[in-house]
């Protein structure tokens, strides 16, 4: 586990074989990383939503331009499904366009 993060998975879950124990460790590491990635994407999306709520079209466009590559990067890492990310981007794009 990196960056001192805690995970709910431990080596003593149910693993009996060496390979199963290794898999548990890998899952624990991946879970921490994926949680951080998901959180990062949500932060970017929240910034877009906040700009939309404030009615600031320029800030909303800038936030969306920053959020889109971050969301697609998460897709590439397997954190989000491609269609989910495309749907989110499409809806945000439509909202920003409607704002002005």
Q: Mean pLDDT throughout 24-28?
A: 94
CATH of domain 37-99: 1.20.58.110
- Domain range summary for the chain, segments of one domain joined by +: 37-99
pLDDT for residue 37 is more than 70:
yes
How would residue 14 be classed by pLDDT, with cut points 50, 70 and 90? Answer: confident
What one-character-per-residue DSSP string does 21-85 give? HHHHHHHHHHHHHHHHHHHHHHHHHHHHHHHHHHT-HHHHHHHHHHHHHHHHHHHHTTSS-HHHH
What does residue 5 show for φ and ψ, rounded to 5 degrees?
Answer: -80, 150
Distance CA 68, CA 87 (A): 11
Q: Pick from 94, 83, 92, 80: which is nearest to 48 by CA?
A: 92
């Amino acid at each position: 586990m990196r960056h001192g993060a805690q995970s709910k998975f431990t080596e003593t879950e149910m693993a009996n074989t060496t390979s199963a124990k290794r898999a548990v460790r890998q899952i624990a590491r991946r879970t921490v990383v994926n949680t951080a990635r998901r959180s990062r994407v949500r932060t970017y999306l929240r910034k877009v939503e906040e700009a939309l709520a404030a009615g600031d079209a320029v800030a909303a466009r800038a936030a969306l331009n920053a959020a889109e590559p971050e969301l697609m990067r998460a897709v590439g890492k397997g954190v989000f499904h491609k269609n989910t990310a495309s749907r989110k981007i499409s809806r945000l794009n439509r909202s920003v366009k409607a704002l002005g």
